[in-house]
């Protein structure tokens, strides 16, 4: 939800996080990844083949044993395929009492969730007769 909110999304979709083995690249890289997905996606099986999926809703950040500098991928909306690379920048030993995860800083404007819809809004007067 933190990423969903950080990118100003308003329409929920299926998503997955992919933890790739070091050095794996290329188009089929997600076949070798450990995948944590939306609970509805667990029942569907992995789109990429490979390992069975795990539920992102049943996994905590602490369960992931993240390391500083670690890279993983996040795919939001399997139809429109919003792909994100996430890098772990810092890990603190003791968290404060505030709610986690949380957005610390945003830079720039979020891209529209449905770019074609926003382009079409300006074309209303361009109807063909």
State the pLDDT confidence band at 100, using cuts at 50, 70 and 90.
confident
CB 85 within 8 A of CB 71: yes
Q: Do 27 and 7 contact (CB within 8 A), yes or no?
A: no
Give me the CATH number covering residue 85: 3.10.290.30
Residues 6 or more apart whose CB falls under 8 angstroms from that of 68 comprise 88, 89, 90, 91
CA 111/CA 103 separation, integer angstroms: 17
pTM, to two decimals: 0.78
pLDDT in tens, 35-94: 999 888 777 666 666 566 889 999 988 899 999 999 999 999 988 999 999 999 888 877
DSSP SS3 for 75? strand
Domain membership flag for residue 128:
no
Q: Is residue 129 part of a domain?
A: no
pLDDT of res. 47: 65
* Number of domains present in the structure of the chain: 1
SS3 36: strand
């Amino acid at each position: 939800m933190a990423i969903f909110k950080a990118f100003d999304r308003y329409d929920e979709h299926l998503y997955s996080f992919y933890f790739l083995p070091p050095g794996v690249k290329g188009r089929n890289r997600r076949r070798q990844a450990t995948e944590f997905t939306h609970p509805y996606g667990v029942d569907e099986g992995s789109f990429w083949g490979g390992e069975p999926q795990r539920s992102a809703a049943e996994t905590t950040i602490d369960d992931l044993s993240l390391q500083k500098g670690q890279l993983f991928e996040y795919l939001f909306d399997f139809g429109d395929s919003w792909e994100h690379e996430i890098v772990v920048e810092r890990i603190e030993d003791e968290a404060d009492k505030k709610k986690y995860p949380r957005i610390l800083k945003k830079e720039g404007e979020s891209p529209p969730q449905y770019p074609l819809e926003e382009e079409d809004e300006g074309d209303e007067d361009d109807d063909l007769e």
